[in-house]
């Protein structure tokens, strides 16, 4: 990413969350601040960050995936807070996520956001413009994931690894090297108080993917590469699950696109997803995975 600009992909993801509120009424993921954090969806157009029409199939697919991963992450967080006493949330590569400003758990859950300083600077400006008071802001920890240890930055910001903690890591892994991905997962697994994480990842392309899925992926790869944020972190599910087990994670739940459709969309679309699975289509594309130690 460009050193003095916010992540273009983070801004693009935020715009998809905002458009989900406008186009689908937040059917899958309700975020009343999603439009405001951008200063309105037209702001993204001014920045040259709109890559395709919002009603095109590729845009709809990506918008659904982004909404579903956020809804799933927040549901898993609620479970961790209420059942297992998680008291810290770390949002890795937070971008323009608004959970800290909507935090329903109040003082019971401290929210840390880890991201590139340039993205955080823009976000601080937006929060101030929205007149959101600092007590509702997250605790910011600036870091370059490829060059610095996010764990050290967190501790400097006041994070306590002795307390059970939850991690949102959404829309990040596919832009990192395999070594950086592994280091992040190992760091969370090493927290003495226990760690839980929801993250999304992308499989390498394979023959079982639909032609529509292949075309959408190729278009997305071209767009993000053009803004200096190429997708380089591809993960095979079987190898990833084995690595998570070796790191000490358990209760792994890995949802592929078909699983997300079954969970978050209506019965007609869910039935079509099941038919595709029965026809032998491999799980592929994007996944959303939950794991805990």
| Interval 151-204: pLDDT, tens | 989 999 999 999 999 999 999 999 898 998 999 999 999 999 999 999 999 988
**Whole-angstrom distance, CA of residue 110 vs CA of residue 124:** 18
Taking each helix axis from N to C terminus, what angle separates 211-226 and 57-84, rounded to the nearest 10 degrees?
80
Q: Is 209 strand, coil or helix?
A: coil
Whether 11 maps to a domain, the answer reads no
Domain that holds residue 243: 54-292
Whether 221 maps to a domain, the answer reads yes
Whether 284 maps to a domain, the answer reads yes
Contact 61, 216 (CB under 8 A): yes
Query: Closest Cα partner for 13 from 44, 42, 40?
Result: 44
**Whole-angstrom distance, CA of residue 68 vs CA of residue 115:** 22
Whether 39 maps to a domain, the answer reads no
Whether 24 maps to a domain, the answer reads no
pLDDT value, residue 284: 56
Whether 48 maps to a domain, the answer reads no
Whether 173 maps to a domain, the answer reads yes
**Whole-angstrom distance, CA of residue 94 vs CA of residue 47:** 19
Query: Closest Cα partner for 126 from 158, 94, 169?
Result: 94
Q: What's the CATH code of the domain at 91?
A: 3.40.50.150
Q: Please give the biggest Cα pair distance in the chain.
A: 52
**Whole-angstrom distance, CA of residue 256 vs CA of residue 263:** 11
Average pLDDT for 37-45: 66
Q: What's the whole-model pTM score? A: 0.87
Q: What is the pLDDT of residues 10-34, one digit of tens each?
A: 888 999 999 999 999 999 999 999 9
Tokens coding 267: 């019965």
Q: How many domains does the chain have?
A: 1
Q: What is the pLDDT of residues 55-104, one digit of tens each?
A: 565 678 889 999 999 999 999 999 999 999 999 999 999 999 999 999 99
Whether 161 maps to a domain, the answer reads yes
């Amino acid at each position: 990413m460009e050193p003095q600009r916010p992540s273009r992909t983070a801004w693009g993801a935020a715009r998809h969350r905002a458009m989900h509120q406008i186009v689908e009424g937040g059917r899958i993921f309700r975020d009343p601040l999603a439009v405001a954090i951008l200063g309105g969806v037209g702001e993204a157009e001014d920045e040259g960050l709109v890559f395709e029409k919002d009603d095109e199939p590729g845009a709809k697919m990506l918008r659904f995936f982004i909404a579903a991963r956020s809804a799933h992450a927040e549901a898993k967080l609620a479970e961790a807070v209420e059942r297992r006493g998680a008291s810290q949330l770390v949002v890795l590569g937070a971008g323009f996520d608004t959970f800290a400003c909507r935090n329903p758990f109040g003082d019971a859950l401290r929210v840390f956001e880890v991201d590139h300083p340039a993205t955080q600077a823009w976000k601080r400006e937006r929060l101030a413009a929205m007149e959101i008071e600092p007590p509702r802001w997250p605790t910011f920890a600036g870091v370059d994931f490829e060059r610095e240890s996010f764990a050290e930055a967190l501790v400097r910001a006041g994070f306590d690894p002795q307390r059970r903690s939850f991690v949102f890591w959404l829309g990040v892994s596919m832009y990192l090297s395999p070594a950086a991905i592994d280091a992040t997962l190992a760091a969370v697994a090493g927290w003495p108080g226990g760690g839980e994480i929801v993250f999304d990842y992308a499989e390498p392309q394979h023959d079982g993917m639909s032609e529509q899925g292949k075309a959408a992926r190729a278009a997305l790869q071209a767009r993000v590469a053009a803004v200096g944020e190429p997708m380089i972190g591809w993960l095979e599910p079987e190898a990833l699950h084995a690595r998570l087990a070796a790191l000490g994670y358990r209760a792994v739940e890995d949802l592929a696109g078909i699983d997300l459709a079954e969970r978050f969309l209506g019965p007609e679309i869910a039935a079509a997803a099941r038919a595709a699975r029965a026809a032998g289509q491999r799980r592929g594309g994007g996944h959303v995975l939950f794991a805990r130690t």
